[in-house]
Amino acid sequence: MINFSQFSKNKIESLFEKSLQLKTLTNAQNFSPSTALNPSEPLVQVGRGQTAALLFFEPSTRTRFSFEAACARAGYHPMVLDGGIGTSLEKGETVTDTILNIEAMRPLFFVIRCNNDLNLQEVAKGLSVPVINAGWGLQGHPTQALLDTLSLFEKWQSLTKKKILFVGDVKHSRVVASHFELSQILNYEIGICAPTEFLPTSEKHENFKYFEKLEDALEWADAVMALRVQKERHDGSFFDVVNYRKKFGLNSERLSKVSPKTLIMHPGPINYGVELEKEVLNDPRSLVLQQVENGVFLREALIRNLFKETL
């Protein structure tokens, strides 16, 4: 799963149903220790202690831990590479050789986060087991887009014709790149509100609706996703935080004028005081931590279905 090329609307919606079923069963289990000792059929450990390789060549908290949790819950033992410190990458071994050597240890699947220097598509073609993209350079972050839309599906039961607004650093966002693809499958609309230097450059984004003023964009949206300003991907040019926060930051005052039904999201990690104020997390419309919670169930459902013909 490098992108959504093999995914239909039906397939994705059944993945969502499965994720929510896992969530319901888990929540029920938490209240009843006896069910934890006697798991029902859908919670069977399909991995049976086999290994999965989780290779994170770039930093991660949410994606890495949720894949680890998902592996544990599904019965796979995760072998984790976290940034490469303490591995032979430090001795100059290449990323490609690292992957080949870990493949020789026969994990049943790979989860890989890497930068643009690696052609993940080509790497996946060369491996004999499935590869899940856990964030690849600027190319995409499909499981993030899925957990975002799962969180909306949980509220709305369908994404069709819904309006999702992305505010901020769209240009450097692999999350938006994946939403562009996913929106074509699930039929939701995408709006963008961003300063000129953060606007996407690809003509692929022509179908987006663009807003200059955040107030107009918020009025249009059914859900708004603030994006992290990705300073590490910028070219070092001056970034005016004060002006950005004033024009594009989400805060209680601004959101008090927005419909009580408009949902508020962020893929994380958050730069508080830049794209979003901490107080927004307490807004009853905020899904930020539900996105993280749903990320475990979405990834668990994905892993449980990896070796099935259909989802």
Smallest distance, ligand CP to C-beta of residue 165, A? 18
φ and ψ at residue 309, rounded to 5 degrees: -65, -45
Residue among 258 and 266 whose Cβ is closer to ligand CP:
266
Smallest distance, ligand CP to C-beta of residue 181, A? 16
The region that residue 83 occupies, defined by phi over 0 for left and psi between -120 and 50 for alpha, beta otherwise, is left
Smallest distance, ligand CP to C-beta of residue 42, A? 26
15 in Cβ contact with 297 (< 8 Å):
no
Q: Which two tokens stand for residue 245?
A: 């926060």
Residue among 60 and 183 whose Cβ is closer to ligand CP:
60
**What one-character DSSP code corresponds to residue 264?**
E
Smallest distance, ligand CP to C-beta of residue 228, A? 8
6-307-152 Cα angle (round to 5) = 55
Asked whether the CA dihedral 54, 58, 59, 61 is positive or negative, the reply is negative
Q: Strand pairing partners for 80? A: 54
Residue among 62 and 247 whose Cβ is closer to ligand CP:
62
Select the residue whose beta carbon is closest to ligand CP and give its number: 63
Smallest distance, ligand CP to C-beta of residue 295, A? 8
Task: Name the site residues for ligand CP (rule: CB under 6 A).
Answer: 60-63, 135, 144, 267-269
Residue among 61 and 94 whose Cβ is closer to ligand CP:
61
- Which long-range contacts (C-beta less than 8 Å, at least 24 apart) are formed by 283-291? 283/252, 283/255, 285/255, 285/260, 285/261, 287/151, 287/152, 287/155, 287/223, 287/263, 288/264, 290/151, 290/154, 291/147, 291/148, 291/151, 291/265, 291/266, 291/267
Smallest distance, ligand CP to C-beta of residue 59, A? 6
- CA-to-CA dists, residue 109 to 23, 219, 292, angstroms: 23, 43, 22
Number of Cβ within a 10 Å radius of residue 242 = 9
Residue among 9 and 62 whose Cβ is closer to ligand CP:
62
Smallest distance, ligand CP to C-beta of residue 245, A? 21
Residue among 130 and 268 whose Cβ is closer to ligand CP:
268
Residue among 135 and 200 whose Cβ is closer to ligand CP:
135
Q: How many helices (H) and strands (E) does the chain have?
A: 11, 9
